Amino acid sequence: MHVVATAGHVDHGKSALVRALTGSDPDRLEEEHRRGLSIQLGYAWTSLPEVGDLAFVDVPGHERFISTMLAGVGPVPAVLFVVAADDPWMPQAAEHLAALDALRVRHAVVAVTRSDLTDPGPAAARAEAELQQTSLSGSPIVPVSSRTGVGLDELRVRLVELVQGLPAADPGADVRLWIDRRFTISGAGTVVTGTLPAGTVTRGDTLSTGMGTVRVRGIESLEERVDSMSGVARVALNVTGDVGDLDSTRTLTTPGAFHWTEVLDVRVTSGDVEQLPTLPMLHVGAHSLSVRCRPLDGELVRLTLERPLPLRFGDRTLLRDPGSRQVWGTRVLDPMPPPLRRRGAAGERAKALEDVTEEPDLVSEVVRREVVDIDTLRRIGVPESSDATGSVVRAGQWLMSADRSERTAQQIVRIVTEHDRDRPLDRGVPVAVLAERLDLPSPDLVVAVLREPLQLYGGRVLASGDDALPAELEQALAGLAEDLAASPFSAPTADRLRELGLDATRTAAATKAGRLLRLAPGIVLLPGADVRAVEQLSALPQPFTTSEARSRLGTSRRVVLPLLEHLDRAGLTRRLPDDRRLVV
Ligand SMILES: Nc1nc2c(ncn2[C@@H]2O[C@H](COP(=O)(O)OP(=O)(O)OP(=O)(O)O)[C@@H](O)[C@H]2O)c(=O)[nH]1
Ligand SMILES: [Mg+2]
């Protein structure tokens, strides 16, 4: 299915044209017929050769209903722009065009209606000239009459070309449905409608309202019941659950897939920034709400919303001053910006955003944020691109910029060195403590940036000094090293440990000093045995069983079980539900 919205001055024949094209009247209200004017959004559809179903969202042209008009075109990237042959270029034609231009709508057909009443040439020429400086420049212009049917065949051809030129929607995309109508049907409950731009909604799905969730009990599209529908499509969803939320949020999304934000940084892409009022209306999707604008610098502005919306990097929105009827187009650059606390923070922020381009770029997002997780980036519209992670340090879900990694690595050296100097017996600093001191969200990031001479043993970071342990302990360790030289994974038996003089206290001291790898009570190997074990295990077909690991490492069950558990804990291997493992 494809969806096209109408636009154009009041009474210029939008609804009549939709009716002529589809055979059904988009004006459903008695009041609309009585006053001869559209008030609400209207919907009608037809089927066209080669492209299938084409639905129209018919907007009202009257100046009072501009918010409704913007709700109609907001989620729809294609427009049927209507001008009457027998009228001059009118204020709402100009206003609608300015809004479409601000939203950078590029896919349009212009219909010069009422061409049975007068020569459509002058109106067509005027429309062409008006469109020239806008994103709709060069759109085909077709004279038509909804009364006589003249020109409708050519208009259909142009509409087919229009929708064929639209970018394909991804059925796997996250769902974000801006609700444009909500009503209650007795027996069924709440029904919401909207234009689904991409993604798939299936009966039984749970969708987020931003605060709570609703369950999709039924789906209708073009008045047919369906089990599942993928965008682009007009959909009506029968929903249950936290439907009260929809009074304010009026949006449904894939749970967890979006960051619902109240603060965002945008670039003003059209209109004079200097004239931007402090409290304009923000129009996005089918939504409008009041926002506070704080200029950062140049075209960069911070918006604070009166309630959260699921906005992503790259979203286009419209700011509108209801007093002067001026509009500004914006592009979202950051839906999750840092707070501006210090003096001069706005200017610094503007500098950081200056080079942000139209396309989301993972590396520059990580550079600006220093530390961020992949899931957050995905939710704000910056997908993971495997080829572009070069300079970024990655630890599990976490990403850290090269600069911050460098700084962190140096800070760790300093902290550990100072700690060892101040408390020589308490060797090393736990990774978790370092993470907290350095304000890092995960100890994995500490581990990821560790470098020589620092070493990690038993969850502690040690400055590897050569300050020797007591002589008899050194001797015991030397004996153990000899034992393990040929077979590094054959942990000594309890008897052998006793022979070597490695009792529980000495084992603990040597472990703390990073000279032993203690896997379980009475089971020790030399430090680094875990890394060597992983090297060996990587050579096995993945996943591998415990017994395959045991024979590869040339050891016994007594050792291999705690060794594998140790590797799991360290995140070097992953245990599957069937007890087999993978090297991570
Ligand atoms: N002669 C003639 N009259 C037309 C044509 N198209 C529309 N009209 C008439 O123009 C008037 C306005 O048409 P509508 O289709 O309601 O206009 P609209 O653009 O939908 O108006 P709003 O929704 O209020 O903005 C109606 O009386 C229509 O019958 C046409 O091609 N020829
Ligand atoms: Mg109408």
Cβ contact 232:195 at 8 Å: yes
Sequence-ordered alpha helix ranges (H) in 400-528: 402-422, 431-437, 443-449, 471-486, 494-500, 504-512
Spatial CB neighbours of 151, under 8 Å, sequence gap ≥ 6:
111, 115, 142, 143, 144, 145
Highest mean pLDDT among 382-391, 417-426, 520-529, 543-552: 543-552
pLDDT in the model for residue 422: 75
Please list the helix, strand and coil fractions of the chain in percent, rounded to the nearest 5, in that order: 35, 30, 35
pLDDT in the model for residue 343: 87
Among 34, 117, 147, 148, residue to substitute to test ligand 1 (most atoms within 8 Å of Cβ)? 147
Task: Please tell me if the CB atom of residue 175 comes closer than 6 angstroms to any atom of ligand 1.
Answer: no
Among 59, 114, 155, residue to substitute to test ligand 1 (most atoms within 8 Å of Cβ)? 114
- pLDDT (mean) for 547-557: 93
Task: Please tell me if the CB atom of residue 126 comes closer than 6 angstroms to any atom of ligand 1.
Answer: no
Q: Which two tokens stand for residue 455?
A: 């070493």
Task: Please tell me if the CB atom of residue 195 comes closer than 6 angstroms to any atom of ligand 1.
Answer: no
pLDDT in the model for residue 467: 55
pLDDT in the model for residue 421: 74
Q: Considering only 72-86, 378-392, 495-509, which range has the smallest mean pLDDT?
A: 378-392
pLDDT in the model for residue 468: 54
- pLDDT (mean) for 172-184: 95
- pLDDT (mean) for 39-60: 94
- Answer with the residue of higher pLDDT: 55 or 455: 55
The tens digit of pLDDT for each residue in 435-485 reads 999 999 999 999 999 887 788 877 888 876 545 566 678 788 888 988 888
Q: Coil, strand or helix: which one is 560?
A: helix
Query: Do you know the residue count of the chain?
Result: 584
Spatial CB neighbours of 347, under 8 Å, sequence gap ≥ 6:
296, 297
**What is the distance between the alpha carbons of residues 76 and 74, in angstroms, rounded to a whole number?**
6
The tens digit of pLDDT for each residue in 395-406 reads 889 999 989 999
Indicate the pTM of the whole model: 0.77
Closest CA to 389 of 584, 398, 375: 398
Half-sphere exposure of 365 (CA within 13 A, CB side): 29
pLDDT in the model for residue 427: 66
Task: Please tell me if the CB atom of residue 37 comes closer than 6 angstroms to any atom of ligand 1.
Answer: yes
- pLDDT (mean) for 84-92: 95
The tens digit of pLDDT for each residue in 355-378 reads 888 778 888 889 889 999 999 999
pLDDT in the model for residue 476: 86
Express as a percent the part of the chain with pLDDT over 70.
Answer: 97
The tens digit of pLDDT for each residue in 134-154 reads 999 999 999 999 999 999 999
**pLDDT bracket for residue 242 (50, 70, 90):** very high
- Answer with the residue of higher pLDDT: 202 or 508: 202
Task: Please tell me if the CB atom of residue 26 comes closer than 6 angstroms to any atom of ligand 1.
Answer: no
What residues have their beta carbon closer than 5 A to ion ligand 2? Answer: 14-15, 38
Closest CA to 583 of 561, 568, 562, 566: 568
pLDDT in the model for residue 295: 94
pLDDT in the model for residue 548: 95
**pLDDT bracket for residue 424 (50, 70, 90):** low
Residue nearest to atom 9 of ligand 1 (CA): 13
Q: Is a pLDDT exceeding 60 seen at residue 388? A: no
Q: Which residues partner with 205 through β-bridges?
A: none
